[in-house]
Structure 1
Amino acid sequence: MNITHPFVDADGDKLREECGIFGVIGAHEAAAVCALGLHALQHRGQEAVGITSFDGAEFFTRRGLGHVADNFSSGDSIAELPGTTAAGHVRYSTTGGAGLRNVQPLYAELASGGFAVAHNGNISNAGHLRGDLVRRGAIFQSTSDTEVIIHLVATSRYPNLRDKIVDALRLVEGAYSLILMTPQGMIACRDPLGIRPLVMGALGDATVFASETVALDVVGASFTRQIDPGEMVEVDFDGKITSHRPFAQVAARPCIFEHVYFSRPDSIFNQRSVYESRKMIGVELAKEAPCEADLVVPVPDSGVPAAIGYSQQSGIPFELGIIRSHYVGRTFIQPSDSARNSGVKRKHNANRALVEGKKIVLIDDSIVRGTTSLKIVQMMRDAGAREVHFRVASPPTGHGCYYGVDTPERSKLLAGRMDVDAMREFIQADSLAFVSIDGLYRAVGLAGRNDACPQYCDACFTGDYPTSLTDLGERHNREAQLTLPVNSKVA
């Protein structure tokens, strides 16, 4: 269960990043550095964690369900992972589902030696590729799309391992940031669109890779640069760094939701402070959707920066009208329906003395299914708020993500089946407004969305997917075949 992002209820009423990755080569006790880096990325995945290390002769792997601290807090757990090179992964499940067999890094013995992969993203033609591989005799040990990459590397006819990796990645579509460990060193790469993030840093003589800059900060590494879209960076055991650009150059489309919600606010994404972007979203929201109110109240914690921006732009005082409890554990017992339904109040409670009799502007980062927003609005009303106006620091999320985000089907997304007025009625707010797509682009430092060539992947808002979606298309074709009358034919 996710406990970092508040208000995640049994319906999964928040979008969740699939995972975070971290790698280090050339560091004393590399596994300990890796565990610390993964702890800083815990918000990106709380279902499971794994670390693989290499001591120059052998690979060692330890994986477990739960948080980093649950699995790597003791000296004994780190002692099981010797060597100066390590890569790790924290995850939620999207493709492949839950279970220890899907916990990364995934490891395999290839003809060229050991090979470990940590992957952030989602391969949108993994099912198609997997079917081809199985028909050719491949035997899979997991249901993760990442294992498809391993099989493609193993079956490539190129003699050089780096060329095998490039050959494999040319067959996949979708999003990937990868950290790969080989007997020759470490390789980090991003897909040509750069949908998922990956940065590089230096820790003394060691080289570090991570999903976010905050992980570099926490381990004491200095930020070097981001890995560019379509770039492959190779580091050998002597510390030599080589950059390769084996893919055709295309216009980058990094995920704009990193600015909205996924990244920690103290990270830098795409050369911009995430905190500053979120605050500026609130500024744009105040310009586009002003409101007469007494207080601006964030839905903690993800709504705080946008609420600050909204307050500063509108002149309406910012107040903590909702107080978050930081002591709600993953194993909290919920013995009855009434207890389960009180989940929001266990995590948050209205500051009644502050909100009673007031007109409130609530600021949240997104609305997914809408069930949580309904509970929050009702909580404010129960605390005596006179009016509750809801403002959302992202456009309506009306489309699914197929690039590494755990998104409900479109039929379960509130914006996928309702217009804004119907959504307002559903959550029972006095008014509801979302930042526009152009306002979101302005908040991240651009003039607006370039519809001819968007600068970010914003498919969850616009339905404008930057890659083919082979598996989805094949699934729709199968479903269409199943619904055909018995005697019908397809032209």
Structure 2
Amino acid sequence: MDPLAPMFTTNPFDDDKLREECGIFGVIQAETASAIVALGLHALQHRGQEAAGITSWDGHDFHTHRAMGHVAGNFDRDEVIRGLPGNSACGHVRYSTTGETSLRNVQPLYAELNSGGFAIAHNGNISNAMKLRRELIRRGSIFQSTSDTEVIIHLVATSTYRTLLDKFIDALKQIEGAYSLIVTTPEGMIACRDPLGIRPLVMGQLGESTMFASETVAFDVVGAEHVRSIEPGELVIVTHDGQIRSHRPFGEVHPRPCIFEHVYFSRPDSIVDGSSVYSVRKAIGAQLAVENPVDADLVIPVPDSGVPAAIGYAQQSGIPFELGIIRSHYIGRTFIQPGDKVRHLGVKLKHNANRALISGKRVVLIDDSIVRGTTSLKIVQMMREAGAKEVHMRIASPPTKHSCFYGVDTPERTKLLAHRLDVGGMQDFIHADSLSFISIDGLYKALGEAKRADIRPQYCDACFTGDYPTTLTDQDDVVVQNQLELLAERVV
């Protein structure tokens, strides 16, 4: 984990959540485009709280402002927006999964190419970036960041194709992994999604303005209409005079969008691939109650991500839903505290048990996932200290056993509790009276599928199943290198 990351979090259990790497937003043909982008990024702040950036184009020049920290405080000042003039702009909020925490890695990344300026905002992870980077450096490329996104810029710059569009497509055909991209150029704006559609991207309209975002909630904030999702493998070009063209440069591939967008990443008021996230999470909770019933007095969500699933669980089971954990909304960021005891007290600044409600009750806690297990341990302990008679934990996703290599900040596999322990062992670790997870087929059922298709799964669910939908070149290289080093040690 990056050393600066805790300074910019809003979740008191930020060390034990899967975190979406980035959120992106772009608009073209809009007065004060950068102001609209700043508002859109505010709505996407949950997708990346480490850093933010905006690049605009005024018809002649590009202008960029990038900063560490939240959108608020960096892009809500008039002088910053005035310094980003033009009717076209793209922006980015970031957690880092590749590249260290530093301003040089904050996006959008900008470069002067032979065809003119090129600003790119990327959500995802290129799983062969290290291999491509080594090849590009051997050919003379000079990198200014450690971000995998810069690989795309160099691939475009060194492509032998004639037009910028063809150069861009040539670059995309060389990369593996997951990506949603928004690119601002003198010719217009390009938005595209990887062939499997692993990372989300949607298109909106506000008057003459066309915009793109990671989630539809960003359109709600700026008053735009959600037009549609960018299809997997689709590349949309919008010119500065408003023409919109769609290209599909890849062969037809069975889509595998990230299933965790529905479980946790996306805001509940967003629409993801045509489905209401809030409704899906309620359905997940209801299915969880069908599969894993328990005699209890109260259903309590772990704020805030567990709330919709907890409502669904309560409605299906008939057990009353109550807010047994109260969150303070006035603590701006997690304090970095010396010592475990003081750090635990810092957690209570943000979440506290509703003691009068919980005392003497059998409670069912609903959370979206268990990663390292430290969150669940603290929550169960909080319930017991508040006088709960029994504490049962129900999780609105299957056990997270595998790391993500598609743009989600996950711990190493050995640090995932579900990789190290079975469900019984996990229950003992968090000191719960019972622990259950929704099944993988149950999760698919809540998403409107009969069950998970064994041959052609409908979603990327690799974090649960280990079924990665793409090759993982860099990861495979690391494994081979580690095996060679171990072999060398044995020989010595």
Report the counterpart of residue 197 of structure 1 in structure 2.
200
Q: 2:116 aligns with which of 106, 113, 120?
A: 113
Deviation of residue 70 (structure 1)?
A: 1.6
- 1:415 aligned to which of 418, 440, 450: 418
Contact 1:177–1:197 (CA<8 Å) still a contact in 2? yes
The answer to whether the aligner puts 1:8 opposite 2:7 as a matched pair is no
Q: Which residue of 2 aligns with 1:356?
A: 359
Structure 1 residues 209-358: aligned runs within 5 Å: 209-330=212-333, 332=335, 334-358=337-361
Q: Which position in structure 2 is the counterpart of 1:452?
A: 455
Q: Which amino acid aligns with 1:16?
A: R
Amino acid of the residue matched to residue 286 of structure 2?
Answer: V
Three-state SS of the structure 2 residue aligned to 1:72 is: coil
Pair 1:82 & 2:81 matched: no
Decide whether the 8 Å contact of 1:5 with 1:302 is kept in 2. no
2:3 aligns to what? none
Residue 146 (structure 2) aligned to one of 132, 143, 147: 143
Per-residue deviation, 1:341: 2.4
Q: Does the residue aligned with 1:68 lie in a helix, a strand or coil?
A: coil
1:431 counterpart (421, 431, 434):
434
Between the aligned residues of both structures, percent identity stands at 70
* Aligned residue identity for 1:263: S
CA offset at residue 443 of structure 1?
Answer: 0.8
Q: Secondary structure at the match of 1:342?
A: helix
User: 1:176-198 deviations in whole A, cap 9, x for unaligned?
Assistant: 00000111000000000000000
1:116, 1:182 within 8 Å by CA — same for their partners in 2?
yes
1:127 aligns with 2:130: yes
Residue pair 1:344, 1:375 contacting (<8 A) in 2 also:
no
Aligned mates of 2:7, 2:223 — CA distance in 1? 27
Q: Is the 8 A contact 1:2 1:8 kept in 2?
A: no
Q: 2:470 aligns with which of 467, 476, 487?
A: 467
After superposition, what is the alpha-carbon deviation per residue over 1:40-79, rounded to whole angstroms, capped at 9, x for unaligned? 0000000000000000110000000011012111111100
Q: CA deviation at 1:331?
A: 6.2
Q: How many residues align?
A: 487
Q: Distance in 2 between matches of 1:427 and 1:336?
A: 21
Contact (CA 8 Å) 2:403, 2:410: kept in 1 or not? Answer: yes
1:417: Cα distance to partner?
A: 0.9
**What is the letter of the counterpart of residue 6 of structure 1?**
N
SS state at 1:88 partner: strand
Q: 1:346: how far off?
A: 1.7
Name the SS of the counterpart of 1:363 in structure 2. strand
The TM-score, its normalising length taken from structure 2, stands at 0.97
Query: For residue 481 of structure 1, what is the amino acid of its counterpart?
Result: L
Letter of the 2:460 counterpart: C
Question: Residues 3, 282 of structure 1: CA spacing in aligned structure 2 closer, same or farther, 3 A cutoff?
Answer: farther
The TM-score with structure 1 as length reference comes to: 0.97
Counterpart AA for 2:245: T
- Quote the Cα distance in structure 1 between the aligned partners of 2:248 and 2:336: 51
Contact 1:6 1:300 in 2 (8 A): no
Report the counterpart of residue 52 of structure 2 in structure 1: 49
Tell me which amino acid in the other structure corresponds to 2:410.
T
Where does structure 2 lack aligned partners over 5 or more consecutive residues? 1-5
Which string of whole-angstrom CA distances, capped at 9 and with x for unpartnered residues, describes residues 14-58 of structure 1?
Answer: 000000000000000000000000000000000000000000110
The Cα of 1:334 is off from its aligned counterpart by: 2.5
Instruction: State the Cα distance separating 1:330 from its structure 2 match.
Output: 2.3
The correspondence for 2:406, drawn from 392, 403, 406, is: 403
**Which 5+ residue runs of structure 1 have no aligned equivalent?**
none
Q: Once the 2 structures are TM-superposed, how far is the Cα of residue 327 of structure 1 from its aligned partner?
A: 1.8
Q: In 1, distance between residues paired with 2:7 and 2:280? A: 24
Deviation at 1:297, TM superposition (A): 0.4
> What is the CA-CA distance between 1:8 and the residue it aligns to?
2.2
SS at match of 1:465: coil
Q: Which amino acid aligns with 2:319?
A: I
